[in-house]
């Protein structure tokens, strides 16, 4: 048997959403596509915090466009992560995101608020631990910080497939090391480190999440805020917008 054909053994997740939640997630994903529209121009200097938006697993910056339009209309300059397809090695993506954060902070001349959805929030959480001086606040949306693999079986199968394709010669995709090697160990160890107390941190979660086990989103270091929406719809939900707006308003006042 060729090495790339060998099965990738991932730990089984006890989280298994029912058919209703899975169907809701598919509809929510299609709704994101419908929400795509011409971008809103960057606002003129308003004194409001710049925001770095980080997309979720198997998504790109395009998926954060609805939230970006909302924030720009509010007066916050927004910046993409530079990820066309969030499916690469975790440690490599963290380094890329750190460089992007540094570039945005340098360009705007002030610390940056970060909003990350799903895996994007996990990557952002790792970056904040490394560079807290560059971060004004962190908001994660359905991000499995407590257990990065606490996801639905369909998602675990996608991870297995990416690892197998990586073995077959696609080095830019998720590696086995990220799942159960040194990279995975580094991620878990870093996520367990004390979170910088000077950075306001809000973890948004939903008990109706059909992709990630909502309990894995409850990082002890964060303020927990529940919304009633799907996983895929969280980044374009009205209540989520209000939560993010309120957290950014606190930065405007500081």
Instruction: Tell me the per-residue pLDDT of 131-151, one tens digit each, with 9 for 90 and over.
Output: 999 999 999 999 999 999 999
Q: Which domains does the chain have, with CATH numbers?
A: 17-32+49-253 (3.40.50.1820)
* Neighbour tally for 131: CB within 10 Å: 16
**pLDDT at residue 33 in the model:** 60
**pLDDT at residue 163 in the model:** 92
Rounded CA-CA distance 35/182 in Å is: 39
**Could you tell me the pTM of the whole model?**
0.88
Rounded CA-CA distance 245/253 in Å is: 12
Rounded CA-CA distance 207/194 in Å is: 26
Three-state DSSP at 4 gives: helix
Which residues in the chain show pLDDT less than 50?
A: 1-4
**pLDDT at residue 10 in the model:** 67
8-state DSSP, 80: E
Contacts of 217 (CB under 8 A, 6+ apart): 140, 142, 143, 144, 145, 146, 203, 204, 205, 209, 224
**pLDDT at residue 171 in the model:** 85
The strand pairing partners of 203, in sequence order, are: 140, 224
């Amino acid at each position: 048997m060729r090495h790339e054909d060998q099965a990738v053994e991932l730990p089984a997740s006890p989280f298994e959403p029912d058919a209703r939640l899975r169907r809701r997630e598919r509809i929510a994903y299609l709704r994101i596509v419908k929400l795509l529209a011409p971008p809103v121009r960057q606002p003129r200097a308003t004194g409001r915090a710049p925001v770095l938006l980080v997309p979720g697993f198997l998504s790109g910056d395009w998926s954060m466009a609805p939230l970006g339009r909302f924030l720009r209309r509010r007066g916050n300059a927004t910046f993409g992560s530079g990820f066309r397809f969030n499916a690469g090695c975790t440690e490599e993506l963290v380094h890329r995101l750190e460089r992007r954060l540094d570039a945005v902070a340098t360009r705007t001349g002030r610390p940056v608020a970060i909003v990350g959805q799903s895996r994007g929030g996990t990557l952002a959480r790792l970056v904040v631990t490394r560079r807290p001086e560059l971060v004004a606040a962190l908001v994660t949306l359905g991000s499995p910080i407590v257990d990065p693999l606490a996801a639905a079986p369909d998602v675990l199968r996608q991870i297995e497939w990416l690892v197998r394709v990586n073995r077959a010669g696609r080095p830019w995709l998720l590696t086995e090391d990220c799942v159960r090697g040194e990279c995975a160990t580094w991620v878990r160890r870093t996520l367990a480190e004390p979170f910088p107390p000077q950075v306001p941190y809000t973890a948004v979660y939903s008990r109706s999440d059909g992709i990630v086990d909502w309990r894995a989103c409850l990082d002890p270091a964060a303020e927990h805020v529940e919304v009633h929406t799907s996983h895929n719809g969280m980044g374009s939900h009205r209540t989520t917008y209000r939560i993010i707006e309120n957290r950014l308003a606190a930065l405007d006042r500081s």
